[in-house]
Amino acid sequence: MNQILAVFGSMNIENKTVLVTGSTDGVGRLVARRLADQGARVLIHGRDRTRGERLLKEIRAAHRGSAAFLPADFSSLAEVRRLADTVRQTCDRLDILINNAGIGSGGAAGKRETSQDGLELRFAVNYLAGFLLTRAVLPLLMLGKPARIVNVSSLGQHPIDFDDVMLTRGYSGSRAYAQSKLAQIMFTFDLARELEPETVTANCLHPATYMATTMVRQSGVTPISTVEEGAEAILNLAVADELDGCSGQFYNGLRPSKPNPQAYDDTARERLRVLSLRLTGLA
């Protein structure tokens, strides 16, 4: 983290509250650890209690920042709501939200799976869970102004077919993954349009290509990037001074980039927003 601070310049995050989803493993774990090393109060999220408690002990042993572990399975919208309730009950504000939790394509043999709510699993976990969580904790983020939302997406993007969002016909794991990642970007752009950048900014990124993570290995792909590269890119959006007031951007690593054209389609974003509010019970 010190290297990152030296390169970019960073806001002072000592005693700031940061929620990092999917932070018991992979790049999320490294991001959470580095934020804690700079004195932040980090809310660790994951499904695996053993891994969560292990990271909690490491952070506490370093005597820098503080941490709490908040378990939740993002295949259940009820658990996402419960997580948001816990955050609201235990925090008086939220300064940074990093939506990092996700699952991969399932590899070449990936089969269509559904969430506990009967929704296509990758759309539910990679996109809808973050949509619901962000909406639920937005009042806390507004209290933490200037606050930041960082959505960890991907260069792998596929336009959404609104006639078959749940991919009941001709299912492909890679398409399901890519569709969920484009949905994240569309949501980010909507948030940026909705929120005053002086209060809350919303940006998204492809952190690095095929990082050495469990997700990548389970997909049957040989890693070509490190989690350190990915963490650097995520932390850039989360804490770099130069991004104060910057909102509605998609980054490829450390560079501004352009996502799939559907992300700029106002009609498509509106259709996604209406569908998401209905599926999460927020409508």
Hey, which residues are catalytic here?
177
> Could you tell me whether strands 66-71 and 96-99 are parallel, antiparallel, or unpaired per DSSP bridges?
unpaired
Q: What is d(CA 205, CA 233) in angstroms, rounded to the nearest whole number?
A: 8
Compute the radius of gyration of the chain from its Cα atoms: 17
Classified as helix, coil or strand, 169 is: coil
Task: Name which of 221, 191, 33 is nearest 110 in CA terms.
Answer: 221
Kindly compute the dihedral angle of the four CA atoms of residues 49, 79, 29, 142, in this order, to the nearest 10 degrees: -140
| Kind and range of the H or E run holding 235 | helix 227-239
Kindly compute the dihedral angle of the four CA atoms of residues 155, 117, 110, 128, in this order, to the nearest 10 degrees: 0
